[in-house]
Amino acid sequence: MSDTKSPYIVEGKLADNERLKAESRHLRGTIEQDLKDPLTGGFTADNFQLIRFHGMYQQDDRDIRAERTKQKLEPLHNVMLRARLPGGVCNPEQWLAIDKFADEYTMYGSIRLTTRQTFQFHGVLKPNIKLMHQTLNSVGIDSIATAGDVNRNVLCTSNPVESEVHQQAYDWATKISEHLLPKTRAYAEIWLNGEKVETTDQEPILGDTYLPRKFKTTVVIPPQNDVDVHANDLNFVAIAENGKLVGFNVLVGGGLAMTHGDKTTFPRKADDFGFIPLEHTLAVAEAVVTTQRDWGNRVNRKNAKTKYTLERVGVDNFRAEVEKRAGHAYIVIKEVNSSDIGYKPSVDITFNSLSQIYGGDTLAVILTGMGADGREGCRTLKSLGAKVWAQDKDSSVVYGMPQAVTVDRLAEVNIDINDIGECIKTEMS
């Protein structure tokens, strides 16, 4: 990434959640101090929000709220915990541990299943919160990043034992979930009595202030669409050949939520970004998340989700940035319905595709050819800071295309065809 500030960053006074995250010491806040405070059953100040990054929401028993107020008591605070279960899969040992804890340590003695393929505990009082996390950890479950401004629980087409492709898809859902988790040790330190490491936390993917808003990811196997790929931030549609998973079609920027009466909020279907081979999955997932991290709206949280970022910056610009960050950019030549372009292949179309991906980091060389194809593409590249060279007249069989960019002063130099190779080597060195 260049040091130049992106024009796609929203300027203005940051939402208070951005302050909260910046001051949290990578999600630690003063949660530990609150846990030791016997005078309240809840979490105070910023911690009320910070515990969400640890998978919990503070609640109270509304049925007795009024009575407790009459008695000058605070509400009966408790927490709801949402577990992280990529694809919604847990084994019998895990289920029995979950059931036992719910029966013995929750106010309601129940487990609640969610539409996002996980379970929730409700009604856990403060003295039992650490035990809850430690119980889950003992059977290989956590609640990291199931709430807050992070990538949430990754959904996947159910039943990994149905076929080899189903198992592979589930494995990738798990890998994506793990890859995009916060790297801070705050969860282990606070809930699992983890050793405090004297080092600065690094969040290479999520960043020190995490994402602008919640982020949801899915993996699906056609023809099913049980996870709704058009309604989530990042979606991977499994593509198989001969019973083996070979890659994914990637869709970005979906979401159904809107605020009634606020026309700046709206539902949006995800855009198809195209196919990626299997080995590029994590790189693309990371690139989408980091692009949203940097370009998402941190001023207005109602417009902070990925769908609004794509609407604001444009799908082509967002995709080009993802391809650049993923490090394996590919060029898609689109069909163009225009009476101005009556020939294929077209240098103009190719150069315009290049401009969307590489921008000014491009060297365009126009060689001998009829007409003016390439001139407009060069004009676009030139406006982004790219270099344009043209073959000289004497070495051209047909001087049409090099002449067009030369006459319009788009070409920096005119070079003999026999010298172009060495000039490119020099430029690249």
Closest CA to 367 of 378, 383, 382, 379: 378
Sheet of 413-415, strands arranged across: 363-366, 387-391, 413-415
SS3 letters for the chain?
Answer: CCCCCCCCCCCCCCCHHHHHHHCCCCCCCCHHHHHCCCCCCCCCCCHHHHHHHHCEEEEECHHHHHHHHHCCCCCCEEEEEECECHHHCCCHHHHHHHHHHHHHHCCCCCCEECCCCCEEEEEECHHHHHHHHHHHHHCCCECCCCCCCCECCCEECCCCCCCHHHHHHHHHHHHHHHHCCCCCCHHHHHHCCCCCCCCCCCCCCCCCCCCCCCECEEEECCCCCCCCHHHCCEEEEEEEECCEEEEEEEEECCECCCCCCCCCCCCECCEEEEEEEHHHHHHHHHHHHHHHHHHCCCCCHHHCCHHHHHHHHCHHHHHHHHHHHHCCCCCCCCCCCCCCCCCCCCHHHHHHHHHHHCCCCCEEEECCCCCCCCHHHHHHHHHCCCEEEEECCCCCCCCHHHHHHHHCCCCCEEECCCCHHHHHHHHHC
Range list for CATH 3.40.50.180 in the chain: 347-428
Q: What is the largest CA-CA distance in the chain?
A: 97
Crossing angle, helix 129-138 and helix 92-105, to 10 degrees? 170
Q: Are 128 and 90 in contact (CB under 8 A)?
A: no
Segment 252-266 shows an average pLDDT of: 94
The type of residue at 423 is C
**d(C-alpha 270, C-alpha 290), whole Å:** 18
Report the DSSP beta bridge partners of residue 366. Answer: 390
Closest CA to 217 of 258, 176, 277, 276: 176
- What pLDDT is stored for residue 345 in this prediction? 72
Per-residue confidence at 343, pLDDT binned at 50, 70, 90?
low
- What pLDDT is stored for residue 159 in this prediction? 84
Q: Is the pLDDT of residue 334 over 80?
A: no
Q: Is the pLDDT of residue 1 over 50?
A: no
- What pLDDT is stored for residue 199 in this prediction? 56
- What pLDDT is stored for residue 359 in this prediction? 80
Task: Tell me how far apart the terminal alpha carbons of the chain are, to the nearest angstrom.
Answer: 20
Range list for CATH 3.30.413.10 in the chain: 16-326
Tens digits of residue pLDDT in 355-408: 877 788 899 999 999 899 999 999 999 999 999 999 999 999 999 999 999 999
The CATH fold assigned to 16-326 is Sulfite Reductase Hemoprotein; domain 1 (3.30.413)
Segment 322-341 shows an average pLDDT of: 65
Beta pairing class for 155-156 and 217-220? parallel
Q: Are 306 and 313 in contact (CB under 8 A)?
A: no
Tens digits of residue pLDDT in 264-312: 999 999 999 989 999 999 999 999 999 999 999 999 999 999 999 999 9
Q: What is the CA radius of gyration of the chain?
A: 27
Q: Which two tokens stand for residue 257?
A: 């939520």
Residues written for the chain = 429
Q: Which two tokens stand for residue 331?
A: 């060029």
Q: CA 365 from chain center: how many Å? A: 36
Sheet of 271-277, strands arranged across: 155-156, 217-220, 234-241, 244-252, 271-277
- What pLDDT is stored for residue 158 in this prediction? 79
- What pLDDT is stored for residue 183 in this prediction? 96
Tens digits of residue pLDDT in 180-234: 999 999 999 999 998 666 556 899 999 999 999 999 999 999 888 999 999 999 9
Q: Are 262 and 302 in contact (CB under 8 A)?
A: yes
Characterise 190 by phi-psi region: left (phi > 0), alpha (psi -120 to 50), beta (else). alpha
CB atoms within 10 A of CB 334: 9
Mean pLDDT of the chain: 92
The type of residue at 335 is E
**d(C-alpha 249, C-alpha 272), whole Å:** 7
% of the chain exceeding 70 in pLDDT: 94
Give this prediction's pTM: 0.79
The CATH fold assigned to 347-428 is Rossmann fold (3.40.50)
- What pLDDT is stored for residue 198 in this prediction? 57
Q: Are 369 and 401 in contact (CB under 8 A)?
A: yes
Tens digits of residue pLDDT in 27-79: 999 999 999 999 999 999 899 999 999 999 999 988 999 999 999 999 999 99
Instruction: Give me the torsion for CA of 186, 188, 193, 199, rounded to 10°.
Output: -60
Report the DSSP beta bridge partners of residue 236. Answer: 219, 250
